[in-house]
């Protein structure tokens, strides 16, 4: 039986963060499953088309990757997403896997995103609390998530609650889209009046959203809006994929899927 590993990410057009995040996750997963031939797929058709058009990178969709793996003789397939939560992008992977099940592959397993349970949320909170233990009481750490209209559970709100229960009320979670949005960040800043606000992308990559919506110079970026309020802002352009502990959590998701 020929074994394959398909690592699926949303994707990014920013090469620097791709190398530090997506490729780092792929390398860790390849090392965790040396008996499996590794493949890559991205769920964002917009980013795939953009990079293909520029002649920079040619990345498969999930369907294209599975076609390639089938042609290569893969019969035992493990699919692991790098997505933060089970939203619309993860749904694309589920649909592709369901369409391929019961036919072309004799064994097909799908791992879960980073956060799909209360235990996952607590584990992510613990990682960030340790990574940013130097954030003092007079400071604030503001996480920018993407947001999801499709996810049945709002894991961003659960993460914010986990920080509060753990005694980190100055760790605040917001999103670019959907709930909770930017409001919790601005409200907390006005109430706490921190000496400095650190902005951190709560996304696998520090890509377009981090560079523009979070740290950009336009007046509607988080950094600009907070500076306009008179706050000192520090932008941390480091995606979640850069943290070894987060990558280890993703690898563990794949191990659990394989063992099912």
Model confidence over 183-231: pLDDT tens digits? 999 999 999 999 999 999 999 999 999 999 999 999 999 999 999 999 9
Q: Retrieve residue 142's tokens.
A: 């503001």
Q: What is the pLDDT of residue 167?
A: 97
Question: What is the C-alpha to C-alpha distance for residues 186 and 174, in angstroms, rounded to an integer?
Answer: 9
Q: What is the pLDDT of residue 68?
A: 96
**3-114+242-259 and 118-239, same CATH topology:** yes
What SS3 state is found at 179? coil
Residue with tokens 């609390």: 129
Q: What is the pLDDT of residue 88?
A: 95
The pairing of beta strand 171-175 with beta strand 139-145: parallel
User: Which CA distances in Å does 229 have to 140, 194, 224, 246?
Assistant: 15, 12, 9, 33
What is this structure's pTM?
A: 0.95
Inter-residue long-range contacts of 57-60, CB under 8 Å, 24+ positions, other chains counted = 59/11
Model confidence over 84-99: pLDDT tens digits? 999 999 999 999 999 9
Q: Exposed/middle/buried for 169, CB within 10 Å: 0-12, 13-18, 19+?
A: middle
What is the phi-psi region of residue 144: left when phi exceeds 0, alpha when psi lies from -120 to 50, beta otherwise? beta
- Domains in the chain: boundaries: 3-114+242-259, 118-239
Residues 156 and 145: beta-carbon distance below 8 Å:
yes
What's the mean pLDDT when you consider all of the chain?
96
Q: Retrieve residue 48's tokens.
A: 């795939």
Q: Exposed/middle/buried for 132, CB within 10 Å: 0-12, 13-18, 19+?
A: middle
Give yes or no for residue 70 having a pLDDT over 80: yes
Give yes or no for residue 47 having a pLDDT over 80: yes
Which fold is adopted by the domain 118-239? Rossmann fold (3.40.50)
Question: What is the C-alpha to C-alpha distance for residues 157 and 12, in angstroms, rounded to an integer?
Answer: 25
Which residues sit opposite 171 in a β-bridge?
141
Q: What is the pLDDT of residue 101?
A: 79
**Model confidence band, residue 159 (pLDDT cutoffs 50, 70, 90):** very high
Which helix (H) or strand (E) covers residue 235, if one does?
A: strand 233-235
Q: What percent of the chain has pLDDT over 70?
A: 100
Give yes or no for residue 103 having a pLDDT over 90: no
Which fold is adopted by the domain 3-114+242-259? Rossmann fold (3.40.50)
Q: What is the pLDDT of residue 1?
A: 63
Give yes or no for residue 102 having a pLDDT over 80: no
Active site residues: 146
Mean pLDDT across 18-28: 98
Nearest to 145 by CA among 16, 34, 10, 22: 10
Which helix (H) or strand (E) covers residue 41, if one does?
A: strand 37-42
Q: What is the pLDDT of residue 56?
A: 85
Mean pLDDT across 144-148: 96
Mean pLDDT across 89-112: 92
Q: What is the pLDDT of residue 136?
A: 94
Give yes or no for residue 5 having a pLDDT over 80: yes
Angle 170-192-163 (CA atoms, 0-180°, nearest 5)? 15
Question: What is the C-alpha to C-alpha distance for residues 246 and 213, in angstroms, rounded to an integer?
Answer: 23
């Amino acid at each position: 039986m020929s074994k394959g590993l398909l690592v699926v990410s949303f994707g990014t057009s920013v090469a620097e963060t791709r190398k530090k995040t997506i490729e780092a996750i792929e390398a860790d997963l390849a090392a965790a499953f040396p008996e499996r031939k590794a493949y890559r797929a991205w769920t964002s058709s917009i980013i795939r088309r953009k990079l293909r058009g520029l002649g920079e990178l040619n990345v498969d969709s999930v369907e294209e990757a599975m076609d390639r793996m089938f042609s290569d003789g893969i019969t035992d397939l493990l699919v692991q997403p790098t997505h933060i939560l089970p939203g619309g992008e993860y749904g694309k992977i589920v649909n592709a896997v369901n369409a391929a099940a019961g036919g072309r592959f004799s064994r097909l397993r799908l791992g879960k995103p980073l956060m799909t349970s209360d235990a996952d949320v607590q584990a992510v909170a613990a990682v960030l609390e340790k990574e940013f233990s130097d954030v003092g009481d007079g400071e604030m750490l503001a996480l920018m998530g993407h947001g999801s209209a499709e996810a049945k559970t709002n894991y961003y709100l659960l993460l914010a609650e986990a920080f509060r229960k753990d005694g980190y009320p100055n760790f605040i979670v917001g999103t670019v889209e959907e709930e909770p949005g930017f409001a919790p960040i601005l409200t907390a800043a006005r109430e706490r009046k921190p000496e400095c606000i650190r902005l951190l992308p709560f996304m696998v990559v520090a890509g377009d959203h981090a560079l523009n919506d979070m740290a950009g110079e336009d007046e509607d970026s988080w950094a600009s809006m907070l500076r306009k309020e008179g706050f000192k802002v520090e932008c941390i352009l480091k995606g979640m994929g850069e943290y070894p502990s987060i990558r280890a959590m993703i690898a563990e998701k794949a191990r659990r899927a394989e063992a099912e």
